[in-house]
Structure 1
C-alpha cells in the first residue's frame, strides 16, 4: 500500500460507452495535481460489453484493475467488492454518469491529507423530476428522524474514506441487507459533510428501478433502526391498557347499569366485527414488521456472501 495512493472504484453497470471517457478525464485531472491513484472497475453483472472494455483498458493502463461480479447485486455491494480488493491509503467510489464534478475528488483528497477520515459528499442543489425529489426527500427525512444515523441535506450515497475505515468495513461488517453509507455513518469518526453543486444539464436516466429503490430503503431502514420494534411494543402496551379499561367499564355496565351511559353500549354484531377487524389488522401489521427483522436474522446466520467476484 502506497502511503498516499487513492483507490477510485468505478461502479460499472451497462457502462461500455462511458468507461474510457471517465478514466481519461480523471487521469488527466489527477496527474495535473500529482495524485497517485489506482482505478478499479467493478462491473455489476452487466449484459453488454462493459467488462470487455474494462479488461482492454486494464491491458493498456498499469494502474487499472477490472473485475466482474457474478450477477447484478446493485451498487452498494459493488462498493463492498471494490473495497475488499483496493490497495490505496484512501478510497472513493464513483459513478459513470458524471453527476458529481471530478474537481470534488481533488477537494476531498486534500481534506483527507488534512486528517479527515470520513468525507461524505452531498448535493446542495438538485434538479431531479418531482417524483425522484419527493421519494428522496421523504426517505432521508424518515431516516434522520427514526434511525441512529444522520444524513446531510439532500442525502448521500458515496463517500471518501481512510484506510482505517476500509479495513473496518472489510473485517467487521458483513455486507448483506445493508448499505455502505449506513455502515460508515454508524462508525462515528466525526464525518465531514462536503457539499457540492451538481452540474446543470446532467440528467442521466437512473438505472435504479423502483423495486431496487424500495429494497434499498427497507434494507437501510431496518439495518439502522429499532423504531419499528419499539413502536410495536408501545402500541401493544397502550392497546392492552385501553382494552383493560374497556373490560372494567363494560363489566360495570353489565352488572350495575347506568342510564347516563346506556346509549354508549355497543349493540349487535357490527361492533364485534369492527373490533375483530381492527385487532386482526393490527396483529398482522405487527407480525409483518417482526418478520422483516427475523428474515434478516435468517439471512445473516446463513453467512452467505454479499457478493461474488468472478475469476478472470
Structure 2
C-alpha cells in the first residue's frame, strides 16, 4: 500500500505565490513512487486573495486541503495548525515562497525510507539574504548554542521531514508561546541532514521585519534557557563599571578644574549604578513573567474558522 505523506504550507498574503507553489511541487510529489500526498495549506488570516486562490486550488485538486484560521496568529501557530491537521505517515512543513526547494522532498522521502525519523534541510548558501540578515542569523545561532540547553542546528529552518512518531511527540508539547525550531530540536529522534542552496523568493516579500526577527530571536533565547536571568547580573555589573569609571573622571575633573555643582558626582554615580542594575533586571524578569502569564491563560494556539477539502 502506498504511504500517505503530508506537505504543510502556511500562507499569509501570498496570493501571487499560490499557483507557482502548486506548479512547482506537484511534479515532484507525483514522481515519488509508492506514495500518496495531501497538501495542507493553512491560511493565516490573509488580507489579500490568498484564501480565494487556495479554495480554487482545492476545488480543482482534491489533494489540496485548506485550513482557514480565524485571524492572523503568526507562522508558528499556522504551522502548528497544519501539523495537527496532517494525517500522513510522514509530514513535511515548508514555506510558500519556494525558498525551500521542492526538489529536495524526493531526497527527504528516500532518507526516511532508509530509516531516518527526521530529515533536516540545511542551507549552505544564504546569498539571497542581505548581509545584515546573514550576520545577525550567524550571531543568533552562536549565542543560542552557548546559552541554551538544546543544540539548535545552524541554518536549519522549518523545512524538514518528520515521521509520524515525531509529529505525535511534537503534539504532546503544550506551549502556547511556540518557538518551533527549538521544539523540533528538543524532540531528538534519529536525524539526518541534507544540504541545499537557498533560491530567491518566487513571489511576494518577506513578512519578517527587523523588529519581528528580533522578537523571534528573543523568543528563542527565553524558550529553552534561563541564562538571560543570569546575564542581567553581568550587564548590571558592566553598567556599574562604566558608572564608576565616569565617577573617576568627574573626580579628576573636579580636582583639576573645580566643580560648580556640589553633590553632582555622588548623585550621578548612585543613580547610574542602581538604575542600570534595576532596569536590566526588571526587563529580563518581565520577559519571563510575561511568558508565564500567557501560558497560565491556557488559550488555544490558534482558532480555525473553517476546513475545506477534508473528509467528514
Query: Shorter-chain TM-score: which interval?
Result: 0.7 to 0.9
Is this contact kept in 2: 1:158–1:181, CA < 8 A?
A: no
Tell me the equivalent position of 1:47.
47
**In the TM superposition, what whole-angstrom CA distance separates every residue of 1:213-252 from its partner, at most 9, and x where no partner exists?**
122111121001110123346788x89xx9xxxxxxxxxx
Q: Distance between the aligned counterparts of 1:201 and 1:47, measured in 2?
A: 20
Does 2:22 match 1:27? no
The structure in which a higher percent of residues are strand is 2
Q: More displaced, 7-16 or 145-154? A: 145-154
**Structure 1: runs of 5+ lacking an equivalent:** 243-262
Q: Distance between the aligned counterparts of 2:200 and 2:295, measured in 1?
A: 42
**In the TM superposition, what whole-angstrom CA distance separates every residue of 1:61-100 from its partner, at most 9, and x where no partner exists?**
1221111112222212111010111100111111122212
Tell me the equivalent position of 1:147.
148
Tell me the equivalent position of 1:120.
120
Q: Secondary structure at the match of 1:311?
A: strand
Tell me the equivalent position of 1:12.
11
Q: Secondary structure at the match of 1:14?
A: coil
Q: Could you say if the C-alpha distance between residues 87 and 155 of structure 1 is closer, same or farther in structure 2, counting changes exceeding 3 Å?
A: closer
Q: Give the CA deviation at 1:159.
A: 2.4
Q: Could you say if the C-alpha distance between residues 192 and 51 of structure 1 is closer, same or farther in structure 2, counting changes exceeding 3 Å?
A: same
Q: Give the CA deviation at 1:199.
A: 3.4
Q: Give the CA deviation at 1:131.
A: 1.8
**In the TM superposition, what whole-angstrom CA distance separates every residue of 1:94-125 from its partner, at most 9, and x where no partner exists?**
11222122111111111111121122212001
Pairing of 1:1-312 with structure 2 (within 5 A)? 4-34=3-33, 35-127=35-127, 128-170=129-171, 172-199=172-199, 205-232=205-232, 269-311=264-306
Q: Distance between the aligned counterparts of 2:124 and 2:212, measured in 1?
A: 24
**In the TM superposition, what whole-angstrom CA distance separates every residue of 1:110-162 from its partner, at most 9, and x where no partner exists?**
11111211222120011121121122112222111211222334342332211
Q: Distance between the aligned counterparts of 1:47 and 1:272, measured in 2?
A: 54
Is this contact kept in 1: 2:20–2:202, CA < 8 A?
A: no
Q: Give the CA deviation at 1:303.
A: 0.1
Larger Rg: 1
TM-score, with structure 2 as normaliser? 0.83
Number of aligned pairs? 284
Is this contact kept in 2: 1:77–1:175, CA < 8 A?
A: no
Q: Secondary structure at the match of 1:157?
A: strand
**Structure 2: runs of 5+ lacking an equivalent:** 242-254, 256-261, 308-312
Q: Give the CA deviation at 1:203.
A: 8.7
* Higher RCO (CA-CA < 8 Å; seq separation 6+): 2
Q: Distance between the aligned counterparts of 2:61 and 2:202, measured in 1?
A: 28
Is this contact kept in 1: 2:93–2:158, CA < 8 A?
A: no
Is this contact kept in 2: 1:51–1:67, CA < 8 A?
A: no
Q: Secondary structure at the match of 2:42?
A: strand
Is this contact kept in 2: 1:185–1:191, CA < 8 A?
A: no
Q: Distance between the aligned counterparts of 2:231 and 2:22, measured in 1?
A: 48
Tell me the equivalent position of 2:250.
none
